[in-house]
Amino acid sequence: MLGCAIYNSGEISDNMAVIIDGKQLSAQVVQEVAVETRAFVEEFGFQPGLAVVLVGEDPASQVYVRNKVKRATEAGLHSIEYKLPVHTDQVTLNALVDKLNNDPKVHGVLVQLPLPKQLNEEDIIAVINPEKDVDGFHPINVGRLSSGQGMLIPCTPLGCLMMLERVLGNLSGKNAVVIGRSNIVGKPMAALLLKANCTVTIVHSRTQNIEAICSGADIVVAAAGQPQMVKSSWIKPGATVIDVGINAVECDGKRKLVGDVDYTDVEPVAGAITPVPGGVGPMTIACLMKNTLIAARAQMNK
């Protein structure tokens, strides 16, 4: 990262990409949530509650859940972790979610994905009470987002949007390309950018000539799960590049995490760029805290 300017850290010269520091921004978001949580506790006499359900022992999921619980504590939320064995069946998982749906101390329910293969992700998402669906994956919340009235918005795209607004301010009229069309990142990202009045193109694994499409964009959000796929030739000089990808690769015999963007190649061309790690990842978790508080307020104000 030598030779790069860090966002919010002082003067930025013309030829350097702004590095969008997700750690710093997410810490700010968590602090803001903590302040609002204190006000919530004063008003209602208890903490907003977040239940996180982990099935099995997937190492990456274990790390994510640990980080979520840690951030929840920092944000002043009451977090409850449920660990279920890898062979848990659908009936047992549904019953736990149903119990959490009916627990007045729980305002947010998150089932960590991916699930072991005997479990159906769509079924379990549909069982979560939409008012407690802090991941924003329930079909009702998907519909609300696509009609522009979303309240519980998927955390990763929400974090990306916050970063873009920090760097660019008003996004109206920008040409944005989203690489990837998954339900958890690509599609909700496109919906959010559209709501922010961008002109949005989604490209995916069947799209032809992705490079040419990306190279006209003011904003590129890469969420394809393809290590270092996006090169400098794909990027218009000065464009803002958000790298959602988290890919474990072998480098000199060591395992390391890289994004979907070839950072070293793209950074000199981009106007602003997120690093991996330390970009979108921490923002995702901070937005989960924000959603839990939003859900709790909405439930108490009913």
Q: How far is the CB of 204 from ligand NAD (least distance, A)?
A: 3
Rounded to whole angstroms, the Cα distance separating 241 from 235 reads: 8
Rounded to whole angstroms, the Cα distance separating 258 from 247 reads: 5
> Given the complex with ligand NAD, which of 41 and 227 has the nearer CB atom?
227
75 backbone dihedrals φ, ψ, rounded to 5°: -85, 0
Among 38, 87, 99, 204, binds ligand NAD (CB under 6 A): 204
Rounded to whole angstroms, the Cα distance separating 255 from 258 reads: 10
Active site residue 68: yes
> Given the complex with ligand NAD, which of 106 and 134 has the nearer CB atom?
134
Among 109, 115, 244, 266, binds ligand NAD (CB under 6 A): 244
Q: Which two tokens stand for residue 121?
A: 């992700």
Q: How far is the CB of 210 from ligand NAD (least distance, A)?
A: 6
Q: Which two tokens stand for residue 271?
A: 């106007």
DSSP symbols for 230-263: B-GGGS-TT-EEEE---EEEEETTEEEEE-SB-H
Cis peptide before 114 (omega within 30 of 0): yes
Query: Which of 14, 17, 72, 19 lies closest to 268, judged by CA?
Result: 17
> Given the complex with ligand NAD, which of 96 and 241 has the nearer CB atom?
241
Pairing label, strands 78-84, 175-179: unpaired
Is residue 182 part of the contact set for ligand NAD (CB under 6 A)? yes
Strand order in the sheet with 78-84: 78-84, 49-55, 108-111
Rounded to whole angstroms, the Cα distance separating 302 from 298 reads: 6
222 backbone dihedrals φ, ψ, rounded to 5°: -100, 115
CA distances (Å), origin 282, targets 71, 171, 224, 274, 275: 10, 22, 19, 11, 11
Is residue 290 part of the contact set for ligand NAD (CB under 6 A)? no
Is residue 200 part of the contact set for ligand NAD (CB under 6 A)? no
Residues numbered 131 to 160 that lie near ligand NAD (CB under 6 A) are: 156
Is residue 226 part of the contact set for ligand NAD (CB under 6 A)? yes
Q: Which residue is nearest to ligand NAD (CB)?
A: 182
Rounded to whole angstroms, the Cα distance separating 296 from 115 reads: 26
Active site residue 252: no
Active site residue 112: yes
User: How many residues bind ligand NAD, per CB under 6 A?
Assistant: 24
Which x/- pattern, by CB under 6 A, does the window 72-111 give for ligand NAD?
A: ----------------------------------------
Please tell me which residue in 21, 68, 174, 187 is annotated as part of the active site.
Answer: 68
Q: How far is the CB of 284 from ligand NAD (least distance, A)?
A: 3
Among 184, 192, 200, 289, binds ligand NAD (CB under 6 A): 184
Q: How far is the CB of 249 from ligand NAD (least distance, A)?
A: 11
Among 181, 195, 236, 290, binds ligand NAD (CB under 6 A): 181
Q: How far is the CB of 211 from ligand NAD (least distance, A)?
A: 10
Is residue 225 part of the contact set for ligand NAD (CB under 6 A)? yes
Which residues are the active-site residues? Answer: 68, 112, 135
**Interface ranges with ligand NAD (CB under 6 A):** 156, 179-182, 184-186, 203-205, 210, 223-226, 229, 244-247, 280-281, 284
